[in-house]
Chain A
């Protein structure tokens, strides 16, 4: 907007172009290098191997999509896919429901809140192998399983449950362990989301006569949905890739009732002297389309916030410009 003063045309001054701050990028280089060497490079090699007949200590020969075609026609692998879907869905339902409930409890002003927080976080802090072997002992039916012993001694059951030997029960037992280990992550992220909700919203709602339930559904739920969504998606990715729970508890058995994609990839790679690295890589990469689909909403959510912030800043700058220009005209 041009103004005139003493017949001179005064151009409102444009905001200075932001100088790029290279320092954050520079200090990220070591981490990025490590990421590239430790993750990106092996991943790209693995992707390449998935299109070859690569075995241990032999040269890789390109065979196109043969490995992927073999997987699609492999009944065992198809079983692994259905087991993985079932295992993931079952675990995630438990994790989200219990994670949110625990977060709500920990957000309340209750006695021993800090001690409870520590207790609820324990499954997440225990080393995986220690936690899983503890569950193996709990589930054991060989006269040593604590769960069966308690159920039998308290006469709740007359016969022990085959937690890991019954094919229908085995996958549920794995879901229980995965859920138990994954609840703290959901609870922690939802708790941090709950703690960012301004308390004046509840106060205002209370003054306006809203009940506790109304406040929960009208204030709490809408504000924690984005957090729950992001943490659910991240946890789903981890659950799809969960190898140690299945491997240590059942190894994919009994039969193939708990045979999942990560177990299949492991067996293809290591179950023979000259393991089939090509097929194992193809099995591992078969989960990528699903993982990418899960990552998109997460990335949009994260980038969405950034864009909102940027737009907010731009609006501020434009308001300042208009104010400055107005002052000059007035002045």
Chain B
């Protein structure tokens, strides 16, 4: 009997030592891949939070700040193929669902729990975007929404003293402010194949007309609301309120149009404000900002979330990566960094509206209102499914419909049918 008890106690002791060893099995290094933003200060500041954690815990943290296209198109796919994964990585919305479903990502509930215990909570609508199949696989750290930026002086010359309230009004204002002889066009819409700003703006206009890209898990571009929204978008081009070159422009083109004073309206995230302030102060002095115009169903801004995920690199590494991520995204540290780059990127914390000094800036206030009330790509569906994620590649952008009609001379029906066919193929490929 005594022998049995001794054996049992020895076994228990051995087990407890093992679990203690696992908990204390610190990785020597952690690798973090951050997406490069326009702000070097933010990039370096965010990276510094991870290295701070590493220094405090005796772990070498390697942070790489990588260009968005390189990270998404080559670096991460190459890492997945070679199984040389980073521990923590910036996650694109289009990649979250397929990667989570394939088991490349770790559940981040422990991170959210730790953050909540330390007083950091997120906007529920933004947190929902990190869920796949009812579980969180990422942690949001910033957000942005697309706003309307307009030239107050050009509008004043045309007899307007306010921003357009509706898309129809914006079309009318674009027409009167267009002056090809001066090289000024009302609508600075860059609608090239890779122009994500235009595609993102299109989500809002679709919703404002009661349409959407998907609804109830099915493609919804053919609905009455979607058709009306797309025809409204086409009018800007057909009525020559957009510079001819812009139909093939990329995401830089609309920024350049505003910075060079050749557009009256552009739709962009508030990074344009920083660029105008530093590079075109004269134009900035005559620039206003407002929420996107409304359609018959109201105004529906898109709120896009920037998020970080933990890649499955083994139990011990995952545990420490979770701690590192919780450290870096904690409101007490990250909020100060986001204040530094305001209004370019918005905060994701549930109590942001209570931060008086942050909300004192009217552009920040407008941006945060759009973020907190904004919809995600999946709207009106709640979950961002694999099918919806498949429709975030540039081949499935709304922009292509504009190109088919304006550039290739197709009829609207043929252009819509063609794009629907491409979207259906993309959905089929992931099902």
Q: Chain A residues in contact with chain B, CB under 8 A?
A: 56-58, 140-144, 159, 162, 164-167, 170, 250-257, 267, 270-276
Contacts and interface: CB of A to CB of B under 8 A. Distances in A.
Contacts of A273: 92, 94-95, 97-99, 389
Interface string B168-201: 0000000000001001000000001110000000
Nearest to B405: A255
Interface in B109-137: none
A278 to B, nearest CB: 11
A112 B103 CA distance: 66
A59 to B, nearest CB: 11
Given A162-B245, A164-B245, A253 B403 contact: yes
A152 B262 CA distance: 17
Contact of B403 (A143, A255, A271, A274): A255
A83 to B, nearest CB: 13
11 contacts: A57-B104, A141-B243, A141-B245, A142-B246, A164-B245, A251-B250, A252-B193, A254-B193, A254-B403, A256-B408, A275-B77
A272 B94 contact: yes
Contacts of A144: 256, 260
B260 A141 contact: no
A142 B244 contact: no
Contact of A253 (B180, B193, B390): B193
A253 B257 CA distance: 19
A56 B99 CA distance: 10
A124 B70 CA distance: 26
Chain B CB within 10 A, most for which of A140, A255, A276: A255
Contacts of B104: 57
B395 A267 contact: yes
Nearest to A152: B183
B23 interface: no
A144 B77 CA distance: 37
B92 A270 contact: no
Given A254-B192, A273-B95, A143 B262 contact: yes
Main SS of chain A's interface residues?
loop
Interface string B218-251: 0000000000000000000000000111111110
A142 B257 contact: yes
Nearest to A268: B395
B319 interface: no
Given A57-B80, A142-B262, A251 B95 contact: no
A142 B256 contact: yes
Contacts of B57: none
B81 interface: yes
Given A141-B245, A164-B245, A165-B246, A56 B408 contact: no
B247 A254 contact: yes
Given A165-B244, A255-B408, A276-B429, A58 B102 contact: yes
Contacts of A250: 248
B252 to A, nearest CB: 9
A275 B73 CA distance: 9
Nearest to B399: A253
Contacts of B68: none
Nearest to A270: B73
B264 interface: no
A312 B384 CA distance: 74
A252 B390 CA distance: 20
Chain A CB within 10 A, most for which of B97, B192, B390: B192
B300 to A, nearest CB: 26
B81 A57 contact: yes
A143 B245 CA distance: 10
B42 interface: no
Contact of B248 (A58, A143, A164): A164
Contacts of B102: 57-58, 274
Given A165-B246, A251-B193, A272-B393, 18 more contacts: A57-B102, A140-B245, A142-B253, A144-B256, A162-B245, A164-B245, A165-B244, A165-B247, A167-B407, A167-B408, A253-B192, A253-B193, A256-B408, A257-B407, A267-B394, A270-B74, A273-B92, A274-B430
B389 A251 contact: no
Contact of B244 (A162, A252, A274, A276): A162
Contacts of B193: 251-254
B426 interface: yes
B53 interface: no
Chain A CB within 10 A, most for which of B246, B247, B407, B426: B407
A218 B424 CA distance: 62
A271 B80 contact: no
A258 B162 CA distance: 41
Contacts of B194: 251
Contacts of B81: 56-57
B366 to A, nearest CB: 27
Contacts of A252: 193
Contact of A57 (B77, B192, B245, B390): B77
B412 interface: no
A298 B40 CA distance: 51
Nearest to A159: B180
Chain A CB within 10 A, most for which of B92, B247, B257, B260: B247
B244 A166 contact: yes
A251 B194 CA distance: 8
Contacts of A143: 183, 260, 262
B80 A251 contact: no
